[in-house]
Amino acid sequence: IRSHMVSQFLLAVSMSTDEGDDKPSYFQSFCRVGSGYTLKELHEFNRKLAPSWKKFDEKNIPQHLLLTSGLRERPDVWIEPSKSWVVQVKAAEIISSNQFKTGCTLRFPRLEKVRDDKAWYQCMTLDEMQSLRQQAGGKLAIRHTGIEDTGEPSKKKARRVIRPSRVIGIASQFRGADVSNVKQVSEMFGGNEFCVVNVPKGHTKTDVEKKIVEHGGSIVQNPGPETYCVLADKITTRVRNIFSRDIYDVVAVTWLFDCLKKGHLLPWLPSHMLHESPDTASEFALEFDRHGDSYTEDVNREKLEEVFNKIEAQGNIAKMTSEDIAEIEFNYFPNDSPLGIFRLCKVYLDKYAVLSQPITKIKDCSLELVELELRFHGARVSPKLDETVTHVICDASDLSRLKDINEMNRGRNKKFHTLSVQWVQDCLEAGTFRSELPYGLKIS
């Protein structure tokens, strides 16, 4: 319930009775639907159903409503079957699920319409649903199925700050910069031993080493068992040799400059590291993903750009299908993702004089703008009218190829929708996916 309104609905299927009574007494939870209707329609649903809502009590569950043990999916309020609605829902397929009593549920469910022509006891039965599931291995394609209408938040993981833990004794002598006259001004580096290999332009190695000693650290010219970390700016042959030993943390000199600027020792971040020792890599794996994005800290624009640049440099950008994106949108934006209205659609636009021949593209075709809108809102657009196309969009002012399109559709196992541009415009105006049925095109 959001803003005192029910925004998602738990749906159920009825169980056939043994006594021959045509009015079922028991209903098994089947799926939850939260998309397919506009905000105006949602307000109307709530207005009509509100007088019949009853608060759900876990200790006194209605006898007619069968839920899973543990109440994985339970309603906030419920309604008597005799006052419920039968609704028509569109979905991609029926999949297994332990969240609902039926043992399965709908993938990407979307409400199409309220079936005012059906009484509450004429809803889909459990046997009918199981039969439908077996027919095509759960795949629903563009078929329609009528069914009856209908958590504590995870604890935030405490942030573990990776802080240097080794306390190293001060070396008895210094090789490199003469630090005998350097006056210590702080204990920032806590006696830790550093090895400076090279530094950025505009700085000298001697100045950097003096700054380390000035703030309580010590320096060596070659890393040893007591070395806290190696500092470098450029990856030279010597730095690569240190990498190959895989026992030292090699840190960018910019980290040291950040510590001096902030006035205290900063924890290392993946962005500071040129190379990580096995221990440090294990600690980072608990706090950051492989691109250096923290699991617990909020990200700003600068950090996000840094992460994206690292992903691009690594060349391991993951490829996601439209269904992968739709899955994410459905899980995190259950009340419709505004830019994913057509995410599950593969569209062919009737803008070629010869079907499926892009070289015969019609000049100044009005469908060019429609294509941009479709792509922007998640659709895949195909230049070929092949077996994977789900929707064909035609300009109502030019239906000269409609007969050929319909001929192709008749010969297909999985049919596509042949629609006017008005369907696209109405979906965008409503901000949700509208039923295709009223927009089908026929040869007059």
16 and 130 co-located in one domain: yes
Residue 123 forms part of a structural domain: yes
Residue 164 forms part of a structural domain: no
238 and 341 co-located in one domain: no
Q: What is the mean pLDDT of residues 292-305?
A: 85
Residue 95 forms part of a structural domain: yes
Residue 186 forms part of a structural domain: no
Residue 135's pLDDT band, with cuts at 50, 70 and 90, is confident
54 and 144 co-located in one domain: yes
pLDDT, residue 204, reads: 92
Distance CA 296, CA 107 (A): 30
Which one has a higher pLDDT value, 145 or 377?
Answer: 377
How many CA atoms lie less than 13 Å away from 57 in the CB half-sphere? 5
For 30, the 3-state DSSP assignment is strand
pLDDT, residue 323, reads: 77
Residue 306 forms part of a structural domain: no
Residue 18's pLDDT band, with cuts at 50, 70 and 90, is low
Strand order in the sheet with 417-420: 380-382, 346-349, 391-394, 417-420
Quick check: 315 pLDDT over 80? no
375 and 276 co-located in one domain: no
128 and 50 co-located in one domain: yes
For 355, the 3-state DSSP assignment is coil
Q: What is the mean pLDDT of residues 353-378?
A: 94
Q: Which of 122, 148, 174 is the last residue of a domain?
A: 148
DSSP state of 94: E
How many CA atoms lie less than 13 Å away from 353 in the CB half-sphere? 6
Q: Which of 229, 262, 287 is the last residue of a domain?
A: 287
Residue 71 forms part of a structural domain: yes
Strand order in the sheet with 250-252: 218-220, 193-196, 227-232, 250-252, 273-275
Residue 251: strand pairing partners: 231, 273
Residue 137 forms part of a structural domain: yes
Domain containing residue 30: CATH number = 2.40.50.140
Domain containing residue 274: CATH number = 3.40.50.10190
Quick check: 159 pLDDT over 70? no
135 and 244 co-located in one domain: no
Largest CA distance in the chain: 101
pLDDT, residue 399, reads: 93
Q: 169-227, pLDDT tens digit by residue?
A: 443 333 467 888 889 999 999 889 999 999 999 999 999 999 999 999 999 999 999 99
263 and 355 co-located in one domain: no
Q: Which of 148, 164, 179 is the last residue of a domain?
A: 148
20 and 138 co-located in one domain: yes
138 and 197 co-located in one domain: no
* 138, 95 Cβ separation under 8 angstroms: yes
Please tell me the total count of domains within the chain.
Answer: 3
Residue 428 forms part of a structural domain: yes
Number of H helices, E strands in the chain: 11, 19
Write down the H helix ranges in 298-401.
301-314, 322-332, 367-376
Distance CA 332, CA 296 (A): 18
Q: What is the mean pLDDT of residues 105-121?
A: 90
338 and 225 co-located in one domain: no
Quick check: 150 pLDDT over 50? no
List the domain range (segments joined by +) for residue 219: 193-287
Look at the block and give the residue holding tokens 């590291």: 273
134 and 18 co-located in one domain: yes
pLDDT, residue 380, reads: 93
Task: Give whole-number Cα distances, 325 to 8, 119, 274, 416, in Å.
Answer: 21, 37, 33, 22
Quick check: 316 pLDDT over 80? no
Q: What is the mean pLDDT of residues 412-416?
A: 91
Q: Tell how strand 104-107 and strand 93-96 pair up.
A: antiparallel
